[in-house]
Amino acid sequence: MDLNFDLEDRYKAGLRKWDKYGPGFIPAWVAEHDFGCPPAVHERLSHVLSLGAFGYHDEDRKLGESFAFWADSRNSWKLNPERVIPTVTVLQGVAACVEAFSSVGDGILYNTPSYPPFLDLPSHAKRRSVEWPLIKSESGWHYDMDSLEKILKADRDIRILLLCNPHNPTGVVLKESELSQIVNLCHKYNLTLLSDEIHSDFIYKESSHIPTLTIDGADSVAVSLTSGAKSFALAGMRCAVAVPGNDILKKKLLEVPKFLLGGANRMGCVATIGAWETGHDWMDELIRTLDDRRLHLKSRLDGEIPEIKMFLPDSTFLAWIDLSEFNPGEKPAKWLREKTGVACGNGPDFGSGGENHVRLTFGTSANLLDEMIERIIKGLT
């Protein structure tokens, strides 16, 4: 997949990724790739524009069918379209689930390092944060399955287990056996499992994505949440879905105040539906391109600046990079940015396990990725 864009135009496009640090820096800090979306998205949005159809709408009612089609085509997941609940974003869907399936003071368990908004969610909802740290070994990051039940035994007031699978920021993907163990423990300890699967379209050849709701027993304890925001660079369109495993969970989720679920906007629905209905081959090509990018990034860093440590991610277009040998201080992203002009995500913002790390988005053109690498090598050697 070729990607040729004018950098000056990118800086003028009004995108937060490019605006935050400005033209003096190469942006690699936000989880948003630069490859745009399938052609059908442009065509369908142009049609809505031509009609001037910006009023109240029912496009969100079509999301269930289109997501069911996408889930089946990508993962052979045959879901009931009637279970799909439209939301504005995945994070909003998670917040609504916390309201529906837990009470003030209950514990929310999540992995660290973690997508930063997950760290803030419990306190905002007047719940308690409980960490389930990932393990770092010589071969990479791993889920600590041995510790999970110990945590649940020690704190019987945990009501929510919040997964990010594939994991942001490490790119680790849960195996089927691990998901089965998690589901069984949710039954045993009366937890609701919230599975953020927003990165699930980005799966490389070493791994495979198992939708949580395809695991035996998950239908009565789990809600899956996703959107096209990461896959098709549609974050500004504000359209996502929550999929409760059964009608009981759906009924309970819909009991939260209506406006906590918001309403996906028409343009977001049209764009997302267009991508899910037509984007299969486009997505395959994107994954092949991103596979080349991740291999190229790791090869160059390993060969030219081995003091930087990077494990090859099994998913996402994000590299979780360890700068420990450089002692980058409490704000490694700022330290790196000032030395190289490459703006990455700050590891400590991801909580425990993020010390001395930065998150680098490699979902961009080959030329721009090489310029990032050159700047990093020049700035740190």
Look up residue 193 and give its two tokens. 């499992």
pLDDT at 7: 84
Read off the pLDDT of residues 205-221 as tens digits, 9 standing for 90 and up. Answer: 999 999 999 999 999 99
Residues 116-130: what's their mean pLDDT?
A: 96
Query: Which residues are CB-contacts of 125 (< 8 A; sequence separation ≥ 6)?
Result: 95, 98, 99, 102, 108
pLDDT at 261: 79
pLDDT at residue 5 tops 80: no
Return the CATH number of the domain spanning residue range 7-30+280-380: 3.90.1150.10
Round the average pLDDT of the chain to a whole number and report it: 96
Is the distance from CB of 69 to CB of 98 less than 8 angstroms? no
Equal fold, 7-30+280-380 vs 43-278:
no
Secondary structure of 172-235 as H, E, C letters = CCCCHHHHHHHHHHHHHCCCEEEEECCCCCCECCCCCCCCHHHCCCHHHCEEEEEECCCCCCCH
Residues 323-348: what's their mean pLDDT?
A: 98
Read off the pLDDT of residues 55-68 as tens digits, 9 standing for 90 and up. Answer: 999 999 999 999 99
* Ranges of each domain in the chain: 7-30+280-380, 43-278
Bridge partners of 163?
A: 195
Who wins on pLDDT, 4 or 295? 295
Q: Per-residue confidence at 128, pLDDT binned at 50, 70, 90?
A: very high
User: 140-142 and 85-87: which strand pairing?
Assistant: unpaired
pLDDT at 15: 94
Read off the pLDDT of residues 98-122 as tens digits, 9 standing for 90 and up. Answer: 999 999 999 999 999 999 999 999 9
Read off the pLDDT of residues 45-56 as tens digits, 9 standing for 90 and up. Answer: 999 999 999 999
Report the chain's terminal Cα–Cα distance, integer Å.
32
In whole angstroms, give the CA distance from residue 164 to residue 42. Answer: 30
Read off the pLDDT of residues 255-266 as tens digits, 9 standing for 90 and up. Answer: 998 888 778 899
In whole angstroms, give the CA distance from residue 357 to residue 112. Answer: 13
Helix 63-75 crosses helix 280-304 at what angle (to 10 degrees)? Answer: 60
Sheet holding 309-310, edge to edge: 26-28, 342-346, 357-361, 318-322, 309-310
Read off the pLDDT of residues 335-346 as tens digits, 9 standing for 90 and up. Answer: 999 999 999 999
Read off the pLDDT of residues 228-277 as tens digits, 9 standing for 90 and up. Answer: 999 999 999 999 999 999 999 999 999 998 888 778 899 999 999 999 99
Nearest to 200 by CA among 143, 283, 278, 126: 283
Task: Reply yes or no on domain 43-278 having CATH 3.40.190.10.
Answer: no
Secondary structure of the chain as H, E, C letters = CCCCCCHHHHHCCCCHHHHCCCCCCEEECCCCCCCCCCHHHHHHHHHHHHHCCCCCCCHHHHHHHHHHHHHHHHHCCCCCHHHCEEECCHHHHHHHHHHHHCCCCCEEEEEECCCHHHHHHHHHCCCEEEEEECEEECCEEECCHHHHHHHHHHCCCEEEEEEECCCCCCCCCCCHHHHHHHHHHHHHCCCEEEEECCCCCCECCCCCCCCHHHCCCHHHCEEEEEECCCCCCCHHHCCEEEEECCHHHHHHHCCCCHHHCCCCCHHHHHHHHHHHHHCHHHHHHHHHHHHHHHHHHHHHHHHHCCCCEECCCCECCEEEEECHHHCCCCCHHHHHHHHHCEEEEEHHHHCCCCCCEEEEECCCCHHHHHHHHHHHHHHHC
Looking at this protein, which amino acid is placed at residue 321? I
In whole angstroms, give the CA distance from residue 148 to residue 131. Answer: 10
Query: Which residues are CB-contacts of 14 (< 8 A; sequence separation ≥ 6)?
Result: none
